[in-house]
Amino acid sequence: MSKIRLLVGTRKGAFILTADGTRKRWKISGPHFAGWEIYHIKGSPVDRDRIYTSQTSAWFGQIIQRSDDGGKTWNPPGKKPEDLMTPEGMPKGESNMFVYDASPETGKPLTTHQWYDGTQHPWEFKRVWHLEPSLHNPDHVYAGVEDAAIFESTDGGKSWHELAGLRGSDTGPKWQPGAGGLCLHTILLDPKNPQRMFIAISAAGAFRTDDGGKTWRPINHGLHSQYIPDPAAEVGHCVHRIAMHPSRPSTLFMQKHWDVMRSDDAGDLWQEVSDNLPSDFGFPIDVHAHEPETIYVVPIKSDSEHYPPSGRLRVYRSRTGGNDWEALTKGLPQRNCYVNVLRDAMSVDSLEPCGVYFGTTGGQVYASADAGDNWKPIVRDLPAVLSVEVQTLP
């Protein structure tokens, strides 16, 4: 029988939740990296025992951790566990080094972006928000970081280099931080075209490369954001997350600061599909594993009131790719609920029927084993959940 492994990043450590294919009884291990913020933890689709973790701290900076045994043991990338038993065997700190590319040979790396007061501000690395392992090679992984940039490792996380064409694109000086910082939080890899990737940045927008990351262009046409001077500007949109179904990588779904959007031409043009949602503000958006037109969002009341409308935690599902939304409430608190669900804190498994999972800032992780019709909390009292990823294991 298949198994499910949930990888949960929280404000104070990582947790690994496992169950068999019935998804009824869960075992919880953790906290791993106790006391550290775990912005993201994600497994390789090629080697499911290979898991990458972003461990970060305002005090001590960025650490990358890697497991090669499905999360049982962890090490900084670069050494075998037995090598770490002596000081001489400690890996170099390169696995934690995210240094912006300043070389003239690799394009036009910028040194500044727009700051809150309108002045230009130097790029300063703060943390890794998102790790996206390659679809083809477990040693190949991308990292989306704050201040916004994309890095790549081709040696299993031992060392990182920036794909500087993104930050060096002409729009870079216009990017500005959202309330959470100038973060690159979403990386989507096109399974049909290895040269194509999509990324999203708060608050700059969505971008696409068609040449494996050398050059990038903004793909924000059709977005309308009242909170910037030109609501239809090329960049400046606070995109919260984008998602795709692997069978149709040219169809993208977006949860923007306000507005749920879709594009059917790889981001060249977006149209709003919020329609009957009680609020079109929110953070996560995800796609059913087997139904490319079934999508999920969690409406949040407003940009200054980060909790569900009316204190009722509702996932909304559209089976028509947007515009026609139904509230999913069974098993979710329908009164006095004032948690948030962050952008990377929703995920789906690939079992039949599709499982849907999300974590809250109140520390609950909810699961549905029937595509959202019914929900149960797997665990109720974790630290605030930052990210949830699913591995479906044979």
Footprint of another protein (CB under 8 A): 35-36, 57-63, 76, 84, 87, 90-93, 96-97, 99
> In angstroms, rounded to a whole number, what is the distance separating the alpha carbons of residues 66 and 140?
13
Distance, first Cα to last Cα, the chain: 7
Q: Are 74 and 105 in contact (CB under 8 A)?
A: no
For the chain, counts of helices (H) and of strands (E): 1, 29
> In angstroms, rounded to a whole number, what is the distance separating the alpha carbons of residues 110 and 101?
9
Three-state secondary-structure class, residue 63: strand
Q: How far is the CB of 72 from another protein (least distance, A)?
A: 17
- The answer for residues whose C-beta is within 8 angstroms of residue 69's C-beta and 6 or more apart is 49
Look up tokens 């949860």; give the residue: 255
> In angstroms, rounded to a whole number, what is the distance separating the alpha carbons of residues 237 and 166?
16
- Rank residues 5 and 158 by Cβ distance to another protein and give the closer one: 158
Distances (CA, A) of 60 to 36, 96, 98, 127, 285: 9, 11, 14, 11, 31
Q: How far is the CB of 159 from another protein (least distance, A)?
A: 12
Q: How far is the CB of 96 from another protein (least distance, A)?
A: 5
> In angstroms, rounded to a whole number, what is the distance separating the alpha carbons of residues 178 and 183?
8
